[in-house]
Chain A
Amino acid sequence: MKKWLILLLPLMLFAKEEVVIKVARMHCPLCTTVVKKALKSVEGVESSKVTLETKLAVVIAKDGIDDKAFLEAVKTTGYEGVVVSRHRLKEQANFY
């Protein structure tokens, strides 16, 4: 049992990712709502925050979703997106 827990530990620690996507041509506040909805429709996305001033969408999603899935979702809004960064979020695993 202990062996399994040790093997699973890295996965449990890095279960989520923060993906930052640049949507350069967003031009009005309403665009942020449309892009946000599109990104939230991607399976595995927990939340998304889109800011017009920076033209950035910050997505919290389960680890390992392909860039393509995010970018295709953005594309449905009529905009092109570019993934500018993604990093794993440490999450406290609940063992007890």
Chain B
Amino acid sequence: MQRRAFMKGCIALGASSVILPQVSILEASEPKGKTRIFYVINRYNLKHENKNGLTKLWVPLPQETSYQKVSDFKFSSNATNAYVTDKNSYKARTLYAEWKNGGEKLLEVTYTITTNERNADLSKATASTKYPKDVAHYLKPTAHIPTSGKVKELALKITENSKTPLDKAKAIYAWVTENMYRDDAVIGCGVGDAGKAIEQNIMGGKCTDISSVFVALLRSVGVPAREIFGIRLGSSRYSKACGSSDEKGLAKITGGEHCRAEFYLDGAGWVPCDPADVAKVILTEKMTLNDPLVKGVREYFFGNWEMNWMGYNTARDFVLSPTPAQKPLNMFGYPYGEVKDEVLDYYAPAAFSYSFVSQEKL
């Protein structure tokens, strides 16, 4: 076996936000909710039949926001080269590593993440639709988030009696949580092709599918909205469907990727939502919208996030840096790897391979 020297990295991720702020002051007015602390370990041991091909790996890293802070970020690897970058159109934080030779391809990433529960104050919302430039960006369509044609037609129908952006968001949230359902047969978090879902009336899906429809409908009627790709970290007070761990706070979170959504209201800032987890609770708990638990969860996930989860980025249909052989990337909620021009199956952790664990400080 060829042995390589391990390279180590230790970066204060939070410090980079001074130069490249990912959090706007728009979240600053949100009151601080319950704090939770998680220690996260990501391990990679890349496998591919072409063992000698140039291998590249892009790992999504947590974003720095008012509701989640990263500390003690470290990585070690036998990669030829590895570094942290956010040089992409969404400033999605990325740990990039490449291996030029054959042999084992190992990487371990560790960090501590401190989260605060999010509770939006909707009473501060105004009806203004004048949005800052960085917010207005989230009104634009992407390949998977169209805002015209049947998507717009449906959004207009859902919001025909809504006057303010908040009214529109409430109507769309109600429609999505009533009409969409979780389909466990969908691979990973789903593709999140909102145009296809609406045009072909595909109402079953997973978190990216449901969130993408929510976002596309909102953008179609002039309400800025975005998905946030991330991963569950620990137990939920509502349902095991929304996150779980053992009694010591240890959670095996491989495969725990989860996409949430936000929309923007003048005065209130970015409002957290999670229509997909309403659908997941219904399926997991074998309930309907009328069950008290589901009613509570449905109400809670319009304006609140239980922070047993962390967000990576809001990127969709974009190009990673350094530029991969295959582009654009649909979403960056999973590690992305290539051997020459061939893509590693990020939906198959054991084959890829990668594993993630999270230990909550209890």
User: Which residues of A are in contact with B by a Cβ distance under 8 Å?
Assistant: 27-30, 32-33, 36, 49, 51-53
Contacts and interface: CB of A to CB of B under 8 A. Distances in A.
Contacts of A27: 143-144, 191, 193, 330
Contact of A29 (B143, B144, B193, B324): B324
13 contacts: A27-B191, A27-B330, A28-B191, A29-B329, A29-B343, A30-B343, A30-B346, A32-B342, A33-B345, A51-B325, A52-B328, A53-B326, A53-B328
B202 to A, nearest CB: 13
Contacts of B143: 27
B345 A30 contact: yes
Residue with the greatest number of chain B CB neighbours at <10 A, chosen from A29, A33, A49:
A29
- Per DSSP, chain B at the interface is loop
B207 to A, nearest CB: 16
B238 to A, nearest CB: 31
Contacts of B347: 30
B144 A52 contact: no
A36 B338 CA distance: 14
Contacts, number: 38
Interface string B321-362: 000111111100000101001110111000000000000000
A47 to B, nearest CB: 12
A51 B330 contact: no
Interface string B295-325: 0000000000000000000000000000011
Residue with the greatest number of chain A CB neighbours at <10 A, chosen from B144, B338, B343, B345:
B343
A79 to B, nearest CB: 12
Given A30-B346, A51-B325, A53-B326, 17 more contacts: A27-B144, A27-B330, A28-B191, A29-B336, A29-B338, A30-B343, A30-B345, A30-B347, A32-B326, A32-B343, A33-B342, A33-B343, A33-B345, A36-B342, A49-B341, A51-B341, A52-B327
Interface in B236-271: none
Nearest to B337: A29
Given A36-B342, A49-B341, A29 B326 contact: yes
